[in-house]
Amino acid sequence: MNASGVINAMTVDVEDYFQVSAFETHIGKSRWQEWPLRVENNTHRILDLFAAREVRGTFFTLGWVAQRFPSLVKRIVSDGHEIASHGWEHIRVNTQTPAAFREDIERTRKLLQDISGEPVLGYRAASYSIGASESWAWEELAEAGYRYSSSIVPIRHDLYGIPDAPRFAFDTAGDRLLEIPITTVPLAGRNINCGGGGWFRLFPYAFSRWAMSRVNDTDGEPGIFYFHPWEIDPEQPRPEGLGMRTRFRHYLNLDRTYARLERLLGDFRWGRMDAIFLSGETRQ
């Protein structure tokens, strides 16, 4: 285990394989019911793994998923994890009006609270889609009762990112909301994502371990790690007609993710977003 003693945030974006933004033009929302649901079983596998390793984390859950699997939400909470919002149907913020966004985040928060019996304090935008032009979303989140967001990545990317954003947690919305970026490390004059997702599958595990250790030991900061239930599911159905880039990003090393997660859980200390960040000690 990393010697620094820093507790990092383990997070799961609870959505199914056919709901990712990259599949939007191939599987519209009107066709979601045509695809086998695998998110429930995959999330239970994650919960079993976390229980075996005595890890607590934060599960950013779609309202669409929670509505269909309320018992899954209840298990997340009963196992000691934080339940948080991932929006209702994985709609990117940069495609929504403020009014539509407001309705989305309020509807999702209410459902998750009704099912779990716990306050929902955290939000993560679909595909990290709060960009430089969507700072209004932080105001909406604060007004809706959220305490923090983890919706940006301070990198250059073709689909998301605010390259000049702070690397670590910062106050926004008039100090009413804490934004907690996904973890990066600076290399050769640019930030490199080391906080999970496809990057965790792309880079060798040794890079992820080195990068997280650097954030803990050199920066003295907690890291944010994220992944999706479909990333431990190499047997998931595969839609036809996907472009080469989409296939590469989505399916790369799915058969290795679970084993890498097991190593990651053992190499670092992990906790919930609310427990790590809402004390105010990490704010800049």
Rg (CA), the chain: 17
Q: Can you tell me the distance from the alpha carbon of 277 to that of 179, in angstroms, rounded to the nearest whole number?
A: 10
Domain encompassing residue 256:
7-277
Give the pLDDT confidence of 119-149 residue by residue, as tens digits: 999 999 999 999 889 999 999 999 999 999 9
Q: Within 10 Å of residue 265's Cβ, how many Cβ atoms?
A: 20
Residue 193 in domain: yes
Residue 282 in domain: no
The whole-number average pLDDT for the span 4-33 is 94
Confirm if 151 and 130 have CB atoms less than 8 A apart.
yes
- State CA 233 to chain mean position distance: 17
For the chain, the distance separating the N- and C-terminal CA atoms, rounded to the nearest angstrom, is: 27
Asked whether residue 4 carries a pLDDT value surpassing 90, the answer given is no
Residue 283 in domain: no
Residue 191 in domain: yes
Q: So what's the pLDDT on residue 132?
A: 85
Residue 1 in domain: no
CATH assignment at residue 20: 3.20.20.370
Q: Can you tell me the distance from the alpha carbon of 142 to that of 224, in angstroms, rounded to the nearest whole number?
A: 21
Number of DSSP helices (H) and strands (E) in the chain, helices first: 10, 11
pLDDT band at 168 (very low <50, low <70, confident <90, very high): very high
Q: Which of 85-99, 182-196, 265-279 has the lowest mean pLDDT?
A: 182-196
Residue 284 in domain: no
Residue 126 in domain: yes
Residue 254 in domain: yes
Domains: count for the chain: 1
Q: So what's the pLDDT on residue 160?
A: 56
Q: Can you tell me the distance from the alpha carbon of 130 to that of 148, in angstroms, rounded to the nearest whole number?
A: 13
